Structure 1
Amino acid sequence: MALFCHLKLDDLQEYMGKVFGIDYVVANVSKMHGGAQKVVYKIDCTNRFSCILYVWDLTMNFFQEEIANEAITDRSYGSDLFEMNNRYLREHGIQTPALYDLNKERSRYNFDYALVEYVNGHKAEVYFHHSDTTVQDRLFERVGHMLTGMHANERHSYGKPNQVGNHSGSCHLLQLENAKVQLSYASNHIESIKKNECRLLEKLHELESRIKPRSRYGFIHGELGPDHILVTDQLEPYLIDIEGAEFFDIEHEHSFLELRFGEFYRYLKNDNLDHNRMLFYRFHHHIALTSGGLKLLHRGFPDQLFAKGLADYHYRRTLQFIEG
C-alpha cells in the first residue's frame, strides 16, 4: 500500500467506514498526477470498490498567492464551490462525478476533503489520437451536446449559482483587469513582453472597446480543456475540476475550447457567438496562460517542461496580436 496521504490511514479508514460502511476496507492509496490547485488520491478497497479523495490544501496550491488576493465573489477554488457546482451540474443533467461526502470540520486537519465517485476511463485528450474516427465522432459529438445544454442554462446576471443579481456591469471587465495584472507579471520575466507592454495594453483596450453591453449569461465550466473531461469506456463524458463554473459570457468558454481542442473544436462550435467577445477573450487567454505557465515554472510545478512550453507558446501567440 502507498503510505503517503493527507489523512492518516486510521483516519481515512474511519472516514470510509462512516460514509460507506464497515465492508469498505482501504487496500491502497495512490496519488494521482495533474492538478495545480487540489490534491487528488485514488482509494482502492478490498471489496474492489474505488473512489477519489479530493483535498483542498492551500499550502499545496500553486496559485495560493492569487487566491489570497481574490475577492470572495471571484473565487475559483474551494470545497464550497465544488459542492455547489457539483449539485448544480447534476441537477441540470450535466454529468460530473458524484460527491459522496464533504468534510469541512477542520477538527483533525486544517483542510477540507471529500470522497468523490471514481470514473474509470481516460481524459478526452487521449481520443485526439484514437485510430477509429467513428469513436471520435461519437465522443466529441456527445461533448458538444453536453456543452450546448450546459451553456443554455441562462440568467440575467453573471457569477456563481448562489450569487443571483449580485453583479451589475459587464463580466468581461473582470477579465480586462485580470489581463492587465497577468501582463505585468509576464513583462517582468519575458523581455519581448516588457518591450511591447504598452502596445499590448493598447490592443487589449482596443478589443474591449468593441464589445457591446449584454444582459444574458450562460453557465460555463471556466477552464474546460480536454484534460477536464473524463470519458468512460461507453464514451460518456464527465466534467471534472468544476470549482470555477459560473454564469458568464459563453464566448469566454468557447475561445478557450478553440485553443485547447484544436481541430476537434469543430464538434463544439456555436454559430451564434459574438465575434468581438471571442477575439477579446482569446487575447486574454494567451496573456493569462503566459503568466500561468511562468508561475508554475517559478513555483516548482512537477512538470517543468510543460510549464515552460505553456509560457513559451502563449507569449508568442500574445505578441502576434500586435504584429503585422
Structure 2
Amino acid sequence: MRAFLTIDDVTGLVAEQFGSDRRVTMLERLAGGTKKGVYRLRLDDGQAAILYVWAAAENYWPASETVPDDPFTDATGAELFTVNSAALTRAGARVPELLMVDRGRRHLDADLVLAEDLTGGTLEALMERDPRAAAGPLAELGAMLRRMHTTYGPEWGRLATSTPQRRTPEEMILARALGHLAQAAPRDQRLEAARPRIEEHLRALRGRVAARREFALVHGELGPDHVLLGPAGEPVLIDIEGVTFFDAEWEHAFLQLRFGPAYALLGPVDLDPRRLEFYRFAQVIGLIEGPLRIAGTDFPDRQWMLDLAELNIRKALAAIGQPSSGSLPTSLSTGLRGPTMLTA
C-alpha cells in the first residue's frame, strides 16, 4: 500500500512558512499526477497553497529502458521544476508563483515545492463547460506559446544540464520511438505482427525530415489539463518539469492531439509539415508503450490507460494501412483526457 501525506507530516513546514500560530485544516491529494504528489494545503485563516512532493511512494512509473539523451523521459524533480519555472517566466509565460523550495529534505524524505494555489480550474474544464468563454484564454495561451517558441537555446535538451548533444533531435526521437515499439509490441499480438512495417514507416518519416538547428523553448506535454486559470482568467502552465529546448513541432504535434478543433485558436508559429508528421507518429507509439507500462502497476485508473493504448494501437495500424475493427473505447470517445505524464 502506498503511504501518502497526512496533516501531521506538514505541520513543521507550515509553521516555518506561514507562522507557528497557523494550523492546517485540510490536506487534499489532487488527482491526475503519476510522477509526483500534488496536495492542496488549506489553513485556518483561509489561506491555501499547493505542495508538490517528489517521493518514491508518489511515482507510479516502473523503470524502463530509455535512450540516454531523451529529455522528456523521467523529466521529474524539484530542480527541473524550479529551473524551468524561471526560464518560462523570462520567456513571458505565466507559471504558479513559488513560495518555497526544499531540496535539502529538511521537512520530509522528499524534495518539496510550495506554490501558489490557483482555484480557477483547468482550461480543459472551461472548454467543455463553455467553449465561447474559453476563446479568450486560448488566444492568450497561443500568444504565450509564440513567445516560448521564439525563445531559442544554443543546443537542444533540458535546461538544468549543459551536456553537448551528439545527434540531432530527430535521430533521438527515432531511437526513442523504436525503443517504445520494442517494449510495447510483445504486449499486443497486433503490434508484434505489424512491428516490421511500423519500424519501416518510422524510418521513412524520419528520412523525409531535413536538417535544422533551431531549438525553441517547449513545454513538452501541454494539454488543456496542464493549463490552470489564474485570478484574472489568464492561462497558467503547470507540470513544467519536461520543459526543454527542442523542435517546436514536437510541442505542436501534442497540442494538435490534445486541443482538437480548438488548436486553431492558438495561432501557431510556422511549422515544418514533414517534421510535424514524424513527431506526431512517434508520439502515437509513445502513447502505446507508456500507458501499457503504467497499466501493469497499481495505478488507480488502469482501464483508462488500457483504453488510451488501444486508441493509439489503432492509429499506428491505420498509418500502415491495417485498420482495426470495432468501436473506440468509451472512456476516450470524446477526446484524449485523463491522467498526466503519459509518456514518462
Taking structure 2 as the reference length, what is the TM-score of the superposition? 0.86
SS in 2 for 1:65: coil
The residue number in structure 1 matching 2:110 is 111
The residue number in structure 2 matching 1:88 is 87
Q: How many residues align?
A: 320
How far is 1:305 from its partner? 2.6
Which of the numbers 277, 286, 289 marks the counterpart of 2:287? Answer: 289
Cα distance change of structure 1 residues 102 and 70 upon mapping to structure 2, 3 Å threshold:
farther
The residue number in structure 2 matching 1:77 is 76
Cα distance change of structure 1 residues 67 and 141 upon mapping to structure 2, 3 Å threshold:
farther
Contact persistence 1:26–1:44 (CA under 8 A):
yes
69-78 or 283-292: which moved more? 69-78
Cα distance change of structure 1 residues 37 and 83 upon mapping to structure 2, 3 Å threshold:
same
The residue number in structure 2 matching 1:127 is 126
Is 1:313 aligned to 2:291, yes or no?
no
How far is 1:100 from its partner? 1.1
- Distance in 2, matches of 1:293 and 1:132, equals 29
How far is 1:26 from its partner? 1.0
The residue number in structure 2 matching 1:26 is 24
The answer for unaligned runs of 5 or more in structure 1 is none
- Distance in 2, matches of 1:299 and 1:69, equals 22
Aligned amino acid, residue 100 of structure 1: L
Cα distance change of structure 1 residues 69 and 149 upon mapping to structure 2, 3 Å threshold:
closer
Contact persistence 1:160–1:246 (CA under 8 A):
yes
- Distance in 1, matches of 2:92 and 2:59, equals 30
The residue number in structure 1 matching 2:152 is 154
How far is 1:148 from its partner? 0.8
Deviations 1:44-101 (A, max 9, x none): 0011100011111134312241499866966411111011111211233211111111
SS in 1 for 2:315: helix
The residue number in structure 2 matching 1:224 is 222
Cα distance change of structure 1 residues 284 and 107 upon mapping to structure 2, 3 Å threshold:
same
SS in 2 for 1:53: strand
Cα distance change of structure 1 residues 302 and 273 upon mapping to structure 2, 3 Å threshold:
same
Which of the numbers 180, 183, 192 marks the counterpart of 1:182? Answer: 180
How far is 1:212 from its partner? 1.2
- Distance in 1, matches of 2:62 and 2:100, equals 25
How far is 1:300 from its partner? 2.3
- Distance in 2, matches of 1:204 and 1:58, equals 34
Is 1:199 aligned to 2:197, yes or no?
yes
235-244 or 151-160: which moved more? 151-160
SS in 1 for 2:135: helix
Cα distance change of structure 1 residues 150 and 98 upon mapping to structure 2, 3 Å threshold:
same
Which of the numbers 285, 290, 299 marks the counterpart of 1:301? Answer: 299
The residue number in structure 2 matching 1:262 is 260
The residue number in structure 1 matching 2:134 is 136
How far is 1:222 from its partner? 0.4
Deviations 1:138-183 (A, max 9, x none): 1211111111111111123111224457224311222111111111
Aligned amino acid, residue 148 of structure 2: M
Aligned amino acid, residue 239 of structure 2: D
Is 1:322 aligned to 2:293, yes or no?
no
- Root mean square deviation of aligned Cα: 2.3
Cα distance change of structure 1 residues 68 and 99 upon mapping to structure 2, 3 Å threshold:
farther
The residue number in structure 1 matching 2:49 is 51
Aligned amino acid, residue 240 of structure 1: I
Higher relative contact order (CA 8 A, sep 6+): 2
- Distance in 2, matches of 1:132 and 1:260, equals 15
- Distance in 1, matches of 2:148 and 2:233, equals 18
Cα distance change of structure 1 residues 67 and 199 upon mapping to structure 2, 3 Å threshold:
closer
SS in 2 for 1:43: strand
Cα distance change of structure 1 residues 211 and 124 upon mapping to structure 2, 3 Å threshold:
same
How far is 1:32 from its partner? 0.6
- Distance in 2, matches of 1:73 and 1:125, equals 26
The answer for unaligned runs of 5 or more in structure 2 is 323-344
Deviations 1:242-285 (A, max 9, x none): 00101000000000100111001111242510111101000001
Taking structure 1 as the reference length, what is the TM-score of the superposition? 0.91
